[in-house]
Amino acid sequence: MPQAPRPLNAPAAERNRQPILEVLQRVLPTRGVALEIASGTGQHAAHFAAGLPGWTWQPSEYEAANLASIAAWTAELANVLPVIQLDVLAAIWPLPAAAQTLDAIFCANMLHISPWACCAALMQGAARHLAPQGHLLTYGPYRVPGLATAPSNETFDVDLRARNPAWGLRDLGDVAAEAQRAGLQLIEQISMPANNLLLVFARS
C-alpha cells in the first residue's frame, strides 16, 4: 500500500514561527492574499494560514523535493491554495489566477541561501505583483551597517560560504538598495529572536 508522504520538520521553523506570526498579525491588515516564497518544509505556511484566517495563503517552493511536505502540512487548511513550484529567478512567476495580485509576499531565510541575483529577482517580482498598498516581508539574518554582527551569525556566514561561495549573510544596506531599484522602500526593521530581522517593504 502506498505510504502517505511524511511532512518534513525543521526545528528552526518550529522555534521562529510564532514570533514571526505575531509580527504578521500586527503589520498586515485582517484579510488579503499572500504569496510565500521558499516555503521550505511548509511549517510556516501552515502556522501563518491558521493564525491569519482572513488571508488566502499561496505557498511556493523551488525544490521539487519539498512540495509534498508543504502539501501535507497545509492539507487541512481551507485558506491555503495548492503549493506551486516557483524559482524567484524566473522572468514570469507561475501564479494561479487567485494569486496574481498580492497583498503580501513573505520570504524567510532565502536571501542568504541562494545566489545574490535572487535578491534583485525577489524585489522585481514583488514590484510586479504587489497591490499598491501591499507589503513584502523578509525574515532572516542580515549584516547591519555600523553594528557588530553576532558571533553566531559570523560562524553561520563562514559555514554558508564554505558550502557554496554564492551564499552568505547579506548586508541590509545592499538589500534595501536592491529594493529601492525595484521601486520598494524598507519601511520597518524588526529585531527578532536569535539575531534575526524581519524587514517590511512597501512601494516607494
Ligand X SMILES: C[S@@+](CC[C@H](N)C(=O)[O-])C[C@H]1O[C@@H](n2cnc3c(N)ncnc32)[C@H](O)[C@@H]1O
Contact set with ligand X (CB under 6 A): 10, 13, 37-38, 40, 44, 61-63, 87-89, 108-110, 113-114, 118
Taking the complex as a whole, the smallest distance from the CB of residue 42 to ligand X amounts, in Å, to 9
Residue nearest to ligand X (CB): 40
Instruction: Round to whole Å and give the CA distance between 86 and 185.
Output: 24
3-state class (DSSP) for residue 53: coil
Q: Which is nearer to ligand X, 133 or 163 (CB)?
A: 163
Q: Which is nearer to ligand X, 63 or 188 (CB)?
A: 63
- Give the strand pairing for 102-108 and 130-140: parallel
Q: What is the largest CA-CA distance in the chain?
A: 58
* Amino acid residing at 22: E
3-state class (DSSP) for residue 71: helix
Taking the complex as a whole, the smallest distance from the CB of residue 61 to ligand X amounts, in Å, to 6
Q: Which is nearer to ligand X, 20 or 133 (CB)?
A: 20
3-state class (DSSP) for residue 77: coil
Residue 146 φ/ψ region, left for φ over 0, alpha for ψ in the -120 to 50 degree band, beta for the rest: left
CA 160 to chain centre: 18
Q: Which is nearer to ligand X, 130 or 137 (CB)?
A: 137
Taking the complex as a whole, the smallest distance from the CB of residue 173 to ligand X amounts, in Å, to 22
Taking the complex as a whole, the smallest distance from the CB of residue 10 to ligand X amounts, in Å, to 5
